[in-house]
Amino acid sequence: MKTILFGNGLNLLKGYSTWEDLLMKIDVEKKEEKIPNTLQFEAEVLPLPEKKTVPVTFDGKLVTHNDQLVTWTINSETNLKAKIAEAMRKYETNEIYQRIAEMRDVSHYVTTNYDDVLKRTLLDMGYLEIDHIKTENTYSIRRKYLLVNGNDYKHIWNIHGEIESPQTIMLGLNQYCGSVSKISDYLNGKYDYTQEKQKVIIPKIHERLRGGIENIYSWIDLFFISDIYIMGFSLLYEEIDLWWILTRRKRLMRQGANITNNIFYCGEVKSGKKKLFQTMGVSIIEPDSKAVDYKDKYHSILDKIV
């Protein structure tokens, strides 16, 4: 099984915003010191009141009733996230999205992006959306789209939330730490959810690995049973949820757990992070030295993993 884990790097091919650019939409001050994105968001949220009253708009225009503005009360943090979501709604596909969508041996796509570019790419290719798990209000342990074209199934896991539910967009240290807690519960047999009025409890990962994981309830499972190719994603050290999974996976391997899948980081890596990857059992696929721009580099990487 192959899984593509991708980030915002794929969107940069169209000239769309970097994460730093997006954060500037909520923080216009130029700071001399580089503050981690997670704490930068907290610094913007915490001074605000928890709730905020804002005018209702429709099609870019203010909504009025009897010459009075129509307003609604929204969580201030969600309001900030909605601004970022709005900037992503017009993102368009590109040839790298199209190429990974065409990979017949890839049925799972994990993304830290909030946009729906890959989903729209697949829809344009003739796939039909047949399911959307979106019952989680804050976190995204099971959040996914399922699309099908004939007998070809594609699963898209938006692990950091999605623009259709701004409150799920993962920004800030509070939500990142909460996500790590949820992931820990999932792996330790403390995670449950309700399906068709029945409680479903996920057994410990140790137990599931012994018997062989057949049912994939979450993107987390893929880190233990699927070959994962990480591309278009810098994997900054603020991404504590993914770093935690990588370290937990390695600890389980040291304890003798039946983990035989491979994880590959696709891209150029500095020496410090390269050593970390080696420690955690993550292999590196570098682009061809002749590749001159990001598009060529992505193509050269995809040539190596087909």
Residue 68 CB partners (closer than 8 Å, separation 6+): none
Number of structural domains in the chain: 1
Q: What's the pLDDT score for residue 205?
A: 95
Flag whether 198 is in a domain.
yes
Q: How far apart are CA 160 and CA 176, in angstroms?
A: 9
Strand 106-111 versus strand 152-158 pairing type: parallel
- Residue 110 confidence (pLDDT) above 60: yes
Q: What's the pLDDT score for residue 32?
A: 53
Strand 106-111 versus strand 2-6 pairing type: parallel
Q: How far apart are CA 162 and CA 135, in angstroms?
A: 12
Q: What's the pLDDT score for residue 12?
A: 87
Q: What's the pLDDT score for residue 129?
A: 98
- Residue 28 confidence (pLDDT) above 60: no
Flag whether 78 is in a domain.
no
Q: How far apart are CA 263 and CA 284, in angstroms?
A: 9
Please state the rounded mean pLDDT for residues 272-286: 95
Flag whether 209 is in a domain.
yes
What's the token pair of residue 111? 């993304």
- Residue 162 confidence (pLDDT) above 90: yes
pLDDT bucket at 19, cuts 50 / 70 / 90: low
Please state the rounded mean pLDDT for residues 132-156: 96
Q: What's the pLDDT score for residue 86?
A: 83
- Residue 276 confidence (pLDDT) above 60: yes
Flag whether 99 is in a domain.
yes
Distances (CA, A) of 190 to 187, 222, 244, 246: 8, 19, 17, 20
Flag whether 132 is in a domain.
yes
- Residue 21 confidence (pLDDT) above 70: no
Residue-wise burial string across 14-44, b where 16 or more C-beta atoms lie within 10 A, e elsewhere:
eebbebeebbeebeeeeeeeeeebbebbbeb
Q: Give 28 or 299, the one with higher predicted confidence.
A: 299
pLDDT in tens, 43-102: 888 988 888 777 777 777 788 877 778 776 778 888 888 888 887 888 999 999 999 999
Contact 182, 175 (CB under 8 A): no
Q: What's the pLDDT score for residue 20?
A: 59
Q: What's the pLDDT score for residue 18?
A: 61
Domain of residue 220: give its range.
2-19+86-305
Please state the rounded mean pLDDT for residues 137-157: 97
pLDDT bucket at 25, cuts 50 / 70 / 90: low
Which residues is 229 bridged to in the sheet? 4, 264
Q: What's the pLDDT score for residue 241?
A: 97
Flag whether 141 is in a domain.
yes
Q: What's the pLDDT score for residue 29?
A: 55
Q: What's the pLDDT score for residue 75?
A: 82
pLDDT in tens, 211-232: 899 899 999 999 999 999 999 9
Flag whether 59 is in a domain.
no
- Residue 186 confidence (pLDDT) above 70: yes
Flag whether 188 is in a domain.
yes
pLDDT in tens, 240-263: 999 999 999 999 999 999 999 999
Residue 205 CB partners (closer than 8 Å, separation 6+): 186, 187, 188, 189, 224, 252, 257
Please state the rounded mean pLDDT for residues 121-146: 97
Strand 106-111 versus strand 61-62 pairing type: unpaired
Q: Within a 13 Å sphere around the CA of 248, how many CA atoms are in the beta-carbon half?
A: 20
User: For residue 60, how many other CB atoms are within 10 A of its CB?
Assistant: 5
The mean pLDDT of the chain is: 90
